[in-house]
Amino acid sequence: MQNMRKNLKLKKSWILNKKCFPPSPIAHHPSPVFNKGFTLIELIMVIVLIGIVAATAVMVIGNVITQQQFDATLKEMNELKMATVGNPDLMESGVRSSFGYAGDMGALPATLNGLITNPSACGWAADTALGGGTNLGTGAGWRGPYIDNKQDDSGNYLALLDGWGRAYQYPLPGAGQITSYGTDGVAGGTGFDADIVVSVGTTITGTVSGRVTNPSGRPIQAPPATNNVIIYSPPLTCASTFTQYAAATDANGYYTISNVPIGKHKLSVTVGVTTIDNAVTVLPNATTTMDVVFTTSATTPDITDITTFTATPFSTSQIRLDWSPPVTTNTDGSTIRDLKGYNIYRGTALNPTSLYASLQNSQTAGTVSYVDSNAGYFNTYYYRITAVNTSGIESAYSANASVPGSYGSSSIFQTTGAATWNTSCIQFQVRNYTAANILVTTNRISSNLGAATRYKIAVSTVAQPACLGTGGGATCTQNASEYNIADYTINANGGNTGYVSVSFFTAAGCGALTNINISNNPYLGFNMNVYQIGDSVTGLR
């Protein structure tokens, strides 16, 4: 009974609820949307749209991948460039410090493999390992690898493969560039198929110039035939020495060294027995300035010790310099103990500054001498000397000593013929280097040809006159031991010239004479007022 009452109660409750909540109209009236299917056209349009979206997605994804490969390739190629010639943006104390393979080896690598493996037996060596000197951290030789040396399963260096797994092209005609053939792996093309090119450049040298001075600021000139400025840099001759790029300082202390490989190198300047080392940075196709001042504490020789300095010509091409007494003290009054010698300066104008010769110390109680054996006949020379000690410290200049060459004031010189020859005519010129007119008639010709010869003389102040023939014209004069040249005047103001031609003939009939033995060795000038013709040893004089 109890269970029956329970069931009735539940049934009643269900009936009441059903009355209170009538069925949904949807249940009795289904919507036509859920019962209608797609037409064939609609299905085709959906399929087409899906295909377009898929193709677009594939294209976009492909372009993204290609762009990534392109970007990675270009980035890697620039890394190869910096491994080859350095990164110009890397600085140390305001100076470029990165020069890559070229800065160490002095050349571009023959292949890109040289950036990873040593292409020669030349490993890195500091300057001090070959020749000593100051340790400046400079040197030469391979000190790679300059790029990542990871390899794939086939042993290829990954850094030498582009984004598509192909080896970079290097070098190509017109070397100095790294090339990737792009997506298609074929030279040329457009778009993503175009070549990717990074220029490394072919200029890997620069210039270094500067000035070398002593403590007083005066220039230091290199001794004759001596390079006193040297740059030690690659290429390195293995286990031997560094390449040396050298120059000599000029009269003003300046030097220039070109075609030096890029990089940081040692520059050494030597004066006397003292050498100063500096690190110099050479930039591509640029000039780096490196001045050097010798600040040695050595005292300066005192040139005022010399009270007499003279120049004297004593042959056709020699001038002797004499000075006394020798330098014995320094400018501070101390006794000089390190005198190396004397520098001699020569020029054709007052106060010469071009170093002509260096004389080793010959310090004696008397006169010091030097012979200039390259004096020209017609030049006036000016000389100055300085004293130099073993530290390269140079004194002030001495006073000028000036003197004409052997023919510096006025002279004759022959204009035809070999050293010794047979002729019937001799031609020569007379030059006036004095400050006054020269009357040629006051000068004479002498001859040792004897009375069996005759002569004719032609003179001019315009041009060399022709040798006179056997026919008419000037009188065929009987030869004497001495005779005058026809009168004419050579004007003053220096360098004016008169021309003389002397023809010789037989005494009988004034016929041609062809066997006069004459040398063209010029000897003396107007100071002797006489010329001799026909001496086979000294010739015209």
- The CATH number of whichever domain residue 255 belongs to comes to 2.60.40.10
Residue 329 lies in a domain: yes
Q: Please write the tens of the pLDDT for every residue from 194-234.
A: 888 999 988 899 999 999 887 767 777 777 678 889 998 88
Domain around 388? 303-404
Query: How is residue 442 written in tokens?
Result: 């006051």
Asked if 182 and 81 sit in the same domain, the reply is yes
Q: Is residue 20 part of a domain?
A: no
> Does 447 share its domain with 511?
yes
Expressed in percent and rounded to 5, the helix, strand and coil fractions of the chain are: 20, 35, 45
As a whole number of angstroms, the distance between CA 541 and CA 539 comes to 6
Are 80 and 190 in the same domain?
yes
Number of domains in the chain: 4
Do 180 and 85 share a structural domain? yes
Q: Does residue 187 share a domain with residue 159?
A: yes
Question: In this structure, is residue 125 part of a structural domain?
Answer: no
Rounded to two decimals, what is the model's pTM?
Answer: 0.52
Do the domain assignments include residue 195?
yes
Residue 130 burial (10 A CB sphere; 0-12, 13-18, 19+): middle
Last residue of a domain, one of 365, 386, 404: 404
187/75 same-domain check: yes
Q: What is the distance of C-alpha 138 from the center of its chain?
A: 21
Residues 86 and 180 in one domain: yes
| In a shared domain, residues 431 and 496 | yes
- Assigned domain for 76 exists: yes
Q: What is the dihedral sign for C-alpha 457, 462, 464, 466?
A: negative
In tens, the pLDDT along 17-76 reads 444 445 554 444 554 544 566 787 877 887 878 777 766 666 666 566 677 888 888 899
What phi and psi, each to the nearest 5 degrees, are found at residue 170? Answer: -165, 135
Domain final residue pick, 404, 429, 447: 404
What's the pLDDT tens digit per position in 321-376?
Answer: 999 998 988 887 777 777 889 999 999 889 999 999 998 876 566 778 899 988 87
Residues 357 and 475 in one domain: no
Residue 457 lies in a domain: yes
User: What residue has token string 């520059």?
Assistant: 267
User: Same structural domain for residues 86 and 110?
Assistant: yes
Q: What is the pLDDT of residues 223-280, one digit of tens each?
A: 767 888 999 888 877 756 788 899 998 878 899 999 999 999 999 998 766 788 999 9
- For residue 17, is it within any domain? no
Tell me if 34 is assigned to some domain: no
Domain end position, chosen among 334, 369, 404:
404
Task: Indicate which CATH number applies to the domain containing 445.
Answer: 2.60.40
Looking at the fold, whether 99 and 183 belong to one and the same domain comes out as yes
DSSP string, 483-505: EEPPP-EE-SSS-EEEEEEEEEE
Residue 444 near residue 482, CB atoms below 8 Å: yes
- DSSP track, 361-404: ----SS-EEEEE----TT-EEEEEEEEEETT--B------EEEE
